[in-house]
A = this chain, B = another copy of it.
C-alpha cells in the first residue's frame, strides 16, 4: 500500500479531530484565528501549512501536536 504523504496524513487527522470535537470549520476558524478558507484547504490537503499554523490549530482543537501526525498502519 502506497505510504500517505504528510499532507494526506495531516489533513485526514485534522478533519477527524475537528469532527470528534463536534465543531464546524467556521468555529475552528474563530478559535484558531485562521481564515475559514485556510481551514477548508488544509482539511483537503491543499495547504503546505507551517509550524505556527499547526500550533494555532492544535490550540483551537485543544489537542496535543502529535495527534495531527498519527498514522493508522
Contact = CB atoms under 8 A, between A and B. Distances in A.
Interface of A: 5-7, 9-10, 48-52, 54-55, 58, 64-66, 68-71
A32 to B, nearest CB: 13
Copies in the complex: 2
A55 B69 CA distance: 11
A45 B5 CA distance: 24
**DSSP class of A's interface residues: helix, strand, loop or mixed?**
helix
Contact of A69 (B9, B50, B66): B66
Nearest to A70: B66
Contact of A50 (B48, B70, B71): B48
Contacts of A54: 6
